[in-house]
Chains A and B, each alone.
Chain A
Amino acid sequence: MITSNLNLDLIQLKALVIKEYREAFRDKRALMVALMMAILAPVGIMVMSKIMIEKLVDEPPVYVKFIGAEHAPKLIKHFADNNLLDFVDVPNDEKSAWEQRNIAIEIPEDYAADMAEGKPIKLHLQADFTDKAVQPPVRRINNAVRNFSLSIGYKRLLLRGVDIRLLNPVKLVEQDTAKPDATFMLISMMLGIYLMLAAFMSGLSVAIDSSAGERERNVLEMLLCQPVSTLKIVLAKLISASTVAVIGVLLILVLTSVSVGFVDLTKIGATFSLDMSTAAVLLLLLVPICFFASACQLFVAFQTKSFKEAQSTVGMLIGIPAFIPFVVSMMDDRPQWLNWLPIAGQSMIIENIFKGVDVDWLAVFATSAVTIAITVALVLALAKKLKSEKVVMALS
């Protein structure tokens, strides 16, 4: 059975990887976790977009308690045109909600007389202005009243032969330079953070199971007694855990690009599509992250004393990388070195991709290279650690 060294290496590595794959893909629960994340993402994005669209597009009816409505029928009609309705007409299922918001407008008795004489009229709007649910209706009432008031004012000036443009000596012209893609920032940013999380979460249970779990089941000791280098053992476990992570990320990308098609974003003037090339760039960015994450998890899990300790410690460590994209997205002043950092670098590039900015390939390669370098260092360090009796026997 004399085989050349390279041949032996290949046979061993193949056997190790096949075994890790078999164990990982037969562990239904671990796979469920990975797939759950993938399926939840597109569902979440669809629901969120639907809600956002509804909020932005619709002007849902607002029910206001009018006091003295009979004095100003034209005003009431103007309100009704803007979907600001009388509380009397509120449907039963929304009654309690509007009762609680309790928005009231008082129209004075001498409204008609004052209007005819051109005297200023005071309408009283009563509501709890600190209540979040009340703020949008109040804003709409404000607008409606201002518009109503302006239109009457303009008519009065016109009747007196005054050019109404005199009323607006300075006019602000707003030009929105945002690309249409960027208007859908929030959802796309969430997707970016979610993808990063998935890269970390999906392979997690496989990584812990194949390290601390194997030691607890007494199979690691047997493996380390075999004529295999620890580097190959670590590599096989890394490959298996990160494969699951990559599958998780891939599923999210595919399912999201499919599901976004079902949401009509044009209603709010936004287009968001995850086309093939964008998805490919995202995958290219996230694959090194998957390996990096799995390497971190294996490194930590092997040094814990038990499976339980591994689960809690690695679970806590997940929080740190998951937070980085959040923090980065909130930072206004980003130092240069952030570009190089794993996770931070990638999350900034992903953010730019979703903003519609062209991909900075140099940054992509730089951050990927740093990520891969750290991963390699972790693997080598872990291979060395596995030779020490402390790690093998889980001694303190």
Chain B
Amino acid sequence: MIEVNNLHKSFIDKKDKKNTVKALDGLSFTAKDGEITGILGPNGAGKTTCLRTLYGLLSADEGFATIDGISVTENPLAARAKLGIFPDKFGLYERLTAYEQIDYFASLHGMSGKTKKQAIEQVIQDLELGDLAHRKTVGFSQGQRMKVTLAQALVHQPQNFVLDEPTRGLDVMSTRILRNHLAKFKAKGHCILFSSHVMQEVAALCDRVIIVANGKLAAQGTPQELCELAGEENLEEAFVKLIGSDEGVAA
């Protein structure tokens, strides 16, 4: 379970105090186990800042985030051990093979020996990476890079997944693989939090949607509830309406 409570974060320009960006302005939400929670928001709404605070990369000015009840700021290593992360900016170690890279992250999560080997084989099989596994990752296509990054995030079967726009650049087949994968983990009772721009995907996959605008929670609920709240037929229209006017921010 991931809980975010009253997060505030400003990026201050030292030279020009007026140039301060308020990225998060009292954002709170909860992502429960056994559910897929989607974060929707326009560009610059604070999605990535929120997720980075969750990993402990950024420290919030105010408020706190917990993962399975462990505070990210107080005990970052223990909190991260329960996380699988697919970050906003990601790169691959281009001099390593896909297998070595996944192995590296599995070891960082304390896996070793047979269990590690099995876990790696499993994730490679699940994400259909078999053909690529022993090639160096230099020259991989965008989609292949995504898959390797996903594999390294999922190899230790974390209780909580945080994915920052995981489907960008993926083709339909890969998106489906990912979707099935996430659904399988959801059924096993994992907590999945992911941010996206793609409405259909959010509508199809998410149990709950959190709409973020200007660093604040604009609305939350099931896709159906959000449509009803906005009085619109589809999620896209509802989204535009909900972030566009403050009237909708009931709930």
Residues of A within 8 A of B (CB): 1, 3, 7-8, 11-12, 14-16, 18-19, 22-23, 26-27, 217-219, 221-229, 389, 392-393, 395-396
Interface string of B75-100 (1 = CB under 8 A from A): 01110110101010111111110001
> Is B140 engaged at the interface, CB distance under 8 Å to the other chain?
no
- Kindly provide the distance from the CB of B2 to the nearest chain A CB, expressed in whole angstroms: 14
Residues of B within 8 A of A22 (CB): 95-96, 100
The list of the 9 closest CB pairs from A to B, nearest first, reads: A15-B107, A218-B91, A227-B81, A227-B80, A26-B95, A225-B55, A217-B91, A219-B91, A218-B89
B77 CB contact (under 8 Å) in A16, A228, A389, A395: A228
Q: How far is the CA of A14 from the CA of B104 in the complex (A)?
A: 10
Q: How far is the CA of A153 from the CA of B126 in the complex (A)?
A: 105
Q: Is the CB of A221 within 8 A of B57?
A: yes
Interface string of B39-65 (1 = CB under 8 A from A): 000000000000000011111000000
Q: Is the CB of A11 within 8 A of B80?
A: no
Residues of A within 8 A of B78 (CB): 227
Q: Is the CB of A226 within 8 A of B109?
A: yes
18 A-B pairs in the complex with CB atoms less than 8 angstroms apart: A12-B107, A15-B103, A19-B96, A22-B95, A23-B95, A26-B95, A219-B91, A219-B92, A223-B108, A224-B57, A226-B105, A226-B108, A226-B109, A227-B83, A227-B109, A228-B77, A229-B77, A389-B59
Residues of A within 8 A of B104 (CB): 15, 18-19
Q: Is the CB of B91 within 8 A of A389?
A: no
Q: How far is the CA of A15 from the CA of B101 in the complex (A)?
A: 10
Least CB separation from A19: chain B residue: B104
Least CB separation from A27: chain B residue: B95
Known contacts A19-B93, A26-B95, A227-B80; is-contact A12 B110 (Cβ 8 Å): yes
Q: How far is the CA of A389 from the CA of B103 in the complex (A)?
A: 27
Q: Is the CB of B115 within 8 A of A1?
A: yes
Task: Tell which of A12, A16, A228, A396 has the most Cβ of chain B within 10 Å.
Answer: A228
Interface residues of B in 92-137 (CB under 8 A from A): 92-96, 100, 103-105, 107-112, 115
B94 CB contact (under 8 Å) in A14, A15, A18, A217: A217
- Kindly provide the distance from the CB of A350 to the nearest chain B CB, expressed in whole angstroms: 35
Q: Is the CB of B110 within 8 A of A11?
A: yes
Residues of B within 8 A of A16 (CB): 108
Q: Is the CB of A221 within 8 A of B108?
A: no
Q: Is the CB of A227 within 8 A of B115?
A: no
- Kindly provide the distance from the CB of A221 to the nearest chain B CB, expressed in whole angstroms: 6
Residues of A within 8 A of B57 (CB): 221, 224-225, 389, 392-393
Residues of B within 8 A of A229 (CB): 77
Q: How far is the CA of A225 from the CA of B57 in the complex (A)?
A: 7
Q: How far is the CA of A288 from the CA of B60 in the complex (A)?
A: 40
Known contacts A19-B104, A22-B100; is-contact A226 B80 (Cβ 8 Å): yes
Known contacts A221-B87, A227-B80; is-contact A8 B110 (Cβ 8 Å): yes
- Kindly provide the distance from the CB of A171 to the nearest chain B CB, expressed in whole angstroms: 72
Interface residues of B in 136-177 (CB under 8 A from A): 149, 156
Q: Is the CB of A222 within 8 A of B85?
A: yes
Residues of A within 8 A of B85 (CB): 222, 225-226
Known contacts A15-B108, A227-B108; is-contact A389 B58 (Cβ 8 Å): yes
